[in-house]
Chain A
Amino acid sequence: MKDSRRSRLFLGLLLAAALVLITVDHRSENTPVFGPMRTIVTSAFGAVERGVSTVTEPIGGFVGAVAGAQGSRAQINNLKTQNAKLQGELSSQRIDKRRSAELQAMLGLSGLGGYKVVPAQVVARRAAPGFEDAVEIDAGTADGIKPDMTVLNGEGLVGRVVSATASTATVVLLCDPASSAGARLEGTGELGVASGLGANGGSGRRIMFRLLDSTAPLPVGTRLVSFGSQQGVPYVAGVPIGTIEKVEATPGELTRTAYAKPFADLSSVDVVGVVVEGPKRDPRDALLPPAPKPAAKPAAKPAAKPKPAVPALPGQQAPPQVARPSQSPAPGDTAPGNDAPENTPATEQGRDGQTSIPGDEAA
């Protein structure tokens, strides 16, 4: 009883004190009586709280992780799959973009030359030492491809078709030792033969050029275009081939031997075009990329804009004619092939290049 009474008294006192504090604090809103005390205590507690929570946060996190492990693992898996999917999409978009650029360059080149091309994509390649350098493309006789047709990409000559099935065709590359193409020097028009070197040429990094007239000048850096055979079989005229890199001294021989770097990167061909119909007139040097300003710098720009280096002949501004029949079974694999907007910018580039040249009003 005694205890109880004392404790009641104590409780009452404390309640009274609390009420007093409440009253005082409430009444003295504008004249802070407890202000400083409150600040000190708050900051002290705050510091302690921060310290403690720093220490205990990992524990809490651990407990939380253990408690929510199942859910978070599922979430991590979700995020991972999502991430992988997005990354895949990103890289495939990058590849699509590159292919679209290659296709545009190719269409620009073929439009400039007035070739009628069938776009195609490389699906397989053979490159064992002692065997041919050949690729398989995803267009065949159903698309109008026949053996002995010229194959090019945005940079230049790639090779020729050797056989074709309904939906695929085999293309022997320019760097295959068994393939040779008639070539013509830029400007002077001297004739020669460009032939592949196989493994000797570093797998397509170099081809050999034999100049038939051994007295004609053959400076390093001269560009080659295809000479073209009768009715464009197997090579149509005017396709850029490469740049002379090295001239061999062969005194007393009937021909002069030089080595050229092909414009097309033959070790990684992807989007190509098969010329199903040659130009009405030989485009001569008009398809060569712009001449490099310093003499020692070969045209190494990827997807160089086809721009005539010398005044172009009139009548070459035919838009690129893409001959892909609509009954083609799989439009998805070379999707941008038939899209008109895809090839218009390339054509515009080509036209811009030509209109900058005086003497073109005739066209």
Chain B
Amino acid sequence: MPRILITTLLVLTALVLQVTVVNRLPVSVVPDFVLLVVIALAAIRGPVAGATIGFFAGLGADLLPPVDHALGQHALVLCLVGFAAGRWAERRPLLTVAVCAAGGPALALAVAGLLGDPGVDLRTFEVAWPMAAFVNLLAAPVVVWAVLKVYGPRPEKATAAAVPGWRRA
């Protein structure tokens, strides 16, 4: 089970580096590397694994201090993103990664708005989302490349050959 180890390690590294290094850079908008790592892992591993990875990565993000929001908010968002990335990455990998990277912040804002977080409204969406989506799109190729490098070539091809058509069902 070295894949589980590698996945855990990747996600934990992304989580810690995000809050200790990336978020503290003196710029107002930074890419969300946890989201991007989840997208890349899900694109390699498929929808079920993607949703699981997303859920646990989100749970980690919810637990990692500093935290002042409801537990599970990140988990919900990343679970959905992971599933979507795993579901469509096989047919249209580039488009899927791009849509997930850009749509992740939008989904997070929508969930926050639905949960009634103060200060999240349509104007917040207009202000915050375009920049967040843009920096995520910029960082996505680098992260996907790095994850592929760590993870090796897509291992799912063998699985798909062994179990023909299981993903299309």
Contact = CB atoms under 8 A, between A and B. Distances in A.
Interface of A: 122-132, 134-136, 162-163, 165, 168, 170-172, 176-178, 196-200, 202-205, 267-268
B65 A268 contact: no
A268 B124 contact: no
Closest A-B pairs by Cβ, 3 of them: A177-B119, A199-B128, A130-B112
A128, A130, A132, A202: most-surrounded residue (chain B CB, <10 A) = A130
B68 A132 contact: yes
Contact of B127 (A131, A134, A200): A200
Contact of A196 (B66, B105, B119): B119
Contacts, number: 101
A172 B65 contact: no
B69, B74, B113, B123: most-surrounded residue (chain A CB, <10 A) = B69
Interface of B: 19-20, 23-24, 26-30, 32, 64-69, 73-74, 105, 108-113, 117-120, 123-124, 127-129, 132
B112 to A, nearest CB: 4
A126 B23 contact: yes
A172 B65 CA distance: 11
Nearest to A173: B66
Contacts of B109: 129-130
Given A131-B73, A131-B112, A198 B67 contact: no
Nearest to B68: A132
A177 B23 contact: no
B67 A170 contact: yes
A135 B66 contact: yes
A200 B32 contact: no
B19 A178 contact: no
A131 B108 contact: yes
A132 B73 CA distance: 12
B28 A203 contact: yes
B128 A129 contact: yes
